[in-house]
Amino acid sequence: MFFATFYIIANIFQSYELWLLYRCFFGKSKRGAGIEFLAFVLFFAVTMLLNVFIDIPILTGLSSYVMLVLIAFFGYESGWKQGLLYSVFAFVSMTLAECIVGLATGFLDLNVFQSREYYNVWGMVALPVVQYLVVLMIRNFRNLQKGREIPILYWAVTIVLPVFSLYLDLMICQQNFYWLNMLGCTVILFVMNVLVFYLCDVQIENMRVRFEKEKLEQLGIPVLVERSSYESGPLARLEWLKFWGILLGKEELAEQEFARQVERLAPLAGQAPTGKRCAFFSITANNLANVRKGGDYVARMIEMAGADYVFADLTDSGNSLSTMNLPLEDFYAGARDADFLIYNSTIEGVVSTTDELVAKCSLLADFKAVQNGHVWCVAQSFFQQSMELADFILELHRLFTEDAPDGLQYFIHVE
């Protein structure tokens, strides 16, 4: 009972670490937070029961790997190559950390084919702390790959806090406390690590915004943080027109213009859906499909125009970005049967012909929209014209309802 209780607490923390690692690899689950949470609860339950009641390392290790693969495929809907690769990477990283801690503390029995008894609380608690250090380092390097700056202080905390936690763990175990007191200290230790890095992540983002604002103010430039880009609804973005009206002393004019734009879109609200499915994307230089998340305003505009956005189930990935990079096999699975493809030229440049498009990704030749000639490219100036959202939606509606719409301002037909 004594060791099993400590193992359960440690395994909860390890499950959190794996969730953090998978978020680093896959972003948020495409199936939603509920399915993602359930997947890791099942991982915890299966691995915990096997370790407590069977505890044969070769079996528990294999079961952990199988569960990681299943989480990648069914919890995150990853492609099979990406799922297998990241599952192997996660499993090997965690296993190497376990071997190092086990050999150093006596926590690990070298006979992996026989049941064993845990007898070292220090090793049992030290293991997830060392694995947490590994996960944090991997996450830092992944963020560097994505072009995000990691402050030196954050690197220092990444190393110092887990090492300090190991020292505290050793001191607790040497004091021969009553086991419930030791358990309470262990829980506090794990919670402290989670909260510190959560607060660090939030603070870094706040400091970035504050730093940019202070630099401008030092130059004598008045600063006002405009957050219309945080709005997920097209009309909510357009309503920021009222804010600028107040700022410039044109409040009445702004109110009238906003009401006019809303009135222009009113007829679409009463129309039945077209039944068409649409994908909005671009192909990146490193062969990924950049798509809008399901809650993004572009996805909402497609829906307002009467079509279904094919990646409507894509949720947030732990950041404020409106886009997400998908492996090409995942994009293929989600958008192959879409009735319309809209290429986002503002990121990777305009494509004029299907040959140019297919040259970026040969899989696109099999897409229904490519074969039917329903591929369009967004004009590069679109995202600089926030006042024209109503026109953009109305033109989208024309794409979905007219056979050969002409005179479009924001869309170029890809021949």
CB 139 within 8 A of CB 24: yes
pLDDT at 3 (0 to 100): 66
More confident site: 36 or 400: 400
pLDDT at 368 (0 to 100): 93
pLDDT at 21 (0 to 100): 85
Res. 375 pLDDT band, cuts 50 70 90: very high
Lowest mean pLDDT segment, chosen from 34-38, 177-181, 368-372: 177-181
pLDDT digits (tens, 9 = 90+) for 21-68: 888 888 777 666 777 888 888 888 888 888 767 767 777 778 888 888
Distance (Å, whole) CA 291 – CA 286: 14
| Helices 328-335 & 80-105 angle (0-180, nearest 10) | 140
pLDDT at 115 (0 to 100): 43
Output DSSP code: residue 201.
Answer: H
Residue 163, both tokens:
């090492």
Helix or strand (DSSP H, E) at 25: helix 2-26
pLDDT at 303 (0 to 100): 92
Nearest alpha carbon to residue 27 among 400, 257, 293: 293
Label the pairing between strands 288-292 and 308-309. unpaired
116-130, 147-161, 244-258, 368-382, range with greatest mean pLDDT: 244-258
Res. 111 pLDDT band, cuts 50 70 90: very low
Core vs surface per residue 118-157: b (16+ CB within 10 A) or e: bebbbbbbbbbbbbbbbbbebbbeeeeeeeeeeeeebeeb
Q: Is the pLDDT of residue 118 over 50?
A: no
CB 353 within 8 A of CB 414: yes
Q: What's the mean pLDDT when you consider all of the chain?
A: 80
- Positive or negative, the Cα torsion across 212, 216, 217, 223? negative
Mean pLDDT for 123-137 is: 82
CB 394 within 8 A of CB 409: no
pLDDT at 379 (0 to 100): 79
DSSP labels, 116-178:
-----HHHHHHHHHHHHHHHHHHHHHHHHHTT----HHHHHHHHHHHHHHHHHHHHHHHTT--
Q: Is the pLDDT of residue 146 over 70?
A: no
pLDDT at 1 (0 to 100): 55
Mean pLDDT for 145-168 is: 80
pLDDT at 82 (0 to 100): 77
Nearest alpha carbon to residue 162 among 127, 138, 119: 127
Nearest alpha carbon to residue 413 among 307, 363, 340: 340
Distance (Å, whole) CA 335 – CA 374: 13
pLDDT at 389 (0 to 100): 85
The structure's pTM equals: 0.52
pLDDT at 156 (0 to 100): 86
Other CB atoms within a 10 A radius of the CB of residue 4 amount to: 12
Res. 114 pLDDT band, cuts 50 70 90: very low
pLDDT at 64 (0 to 100): 83
pLDDT digits (tens, 9 = 90+) for 330-341: 889 989 999 999
CB 291 within 8 A of CB 326: yes
Greatest Cα pair distance, the chain, in angstroms, is 81
Q: Is the pLDDT of residue 126 over 90?
A: no
Q: Is the pLDDT of residue 388 over 90?
A: no
Q: To 5 degrees, how large is the angle CA 394–CA 398–CA 404?
A: 150
**Beta bridge partner(s), residue 323:** 292
Res. 320 pLDDT band, cuts 50 70 90: low
Cβ burial of 164 (10 Å; 0-12, 13-18, 19+) is middle
